[in-house]
Amino acid sequence: DVVMTQSPLSLPVILGQPASISCRSSQSLVYSDGNTYLNWFHQRPGQSPRRLIYRLSNRDSGVPDRFSGSGSGTDFTLKISRVEAEDVGVYYCMQGTHWPLTFGGGTKVEIK
C-alpha cells in the first residue's frame, strides 16, 4: 500500500501569514495517463471533509485562491497564502493513483 506521510502534525499559524503543509508518498503518484491523483481535503471540527484540491493543483469550485497545491512524483505541498480564521481544522492529503486509496494522517491547523 502507498503510505502518505504528512508534516507537521500540528501547525500554529498567525492570521494573515502564509502556511504550508507537506505530504510525501512512498511511491510515485504519477498514473499511466500522466496525471497525478493527489487530493487535499479540509475538515473543520464537527463537519465532513471538503475537497480543496484535486489532481495535484486544481482548486475545487468555490475554494478561495489563497489555497494552492503543488509538487511532483512523491513530494507534495499545500500552501495557504494568507491564513484566515475559517481555515482552522485538519488537512488531509489523499492519493487516488494506486489501490487501495490512502490518506495522510492529517495536519491540524490552529491560530497562534
Q: How far is the CB of 41 from other proteins (least distance, A)?
A: 7
Calculated CA dihedral for residues 69, 58, 26, 30, nearest 10 degrees: -130
| CB closer to other proteins, 51 vs 82 | 51
Of 108, 102, 104, nearest to 93 (Cα)?
A: 104
| CB closer to other proteins, 16 vs 46 | 46
What is the rounded distance in angstroms from the CA atom of residue 61 to the CA atom of residue 64? 9
List the strands of the sheet with 4-7, edge to edge. Answer: 4-7, 19-25, 75-80, 67-72
Q: How far is the CB of 107 from other proteins (least distance, A)?
A: 10
Q: How far is the CB of 43 from other proteins (least distance, A)?
A: 8
Contact positions toward other proteins, by CB under 8 A? 37, 39, 41, 48-51, 54-55, 60, 92, 94, 96, 99-106
Q: How far is the CB of 46 from other proteins (least distance, A)?
A: 10
Q: Is-contact 28 80, C-beta < 8 A?
A: no
| CB closer to other proteins, 14 vs 31 | 31
| CB closer to other proteins, 32 vs 48 | 48
Q: Is-contact 104 71, C-beta < 8 A?
A: no
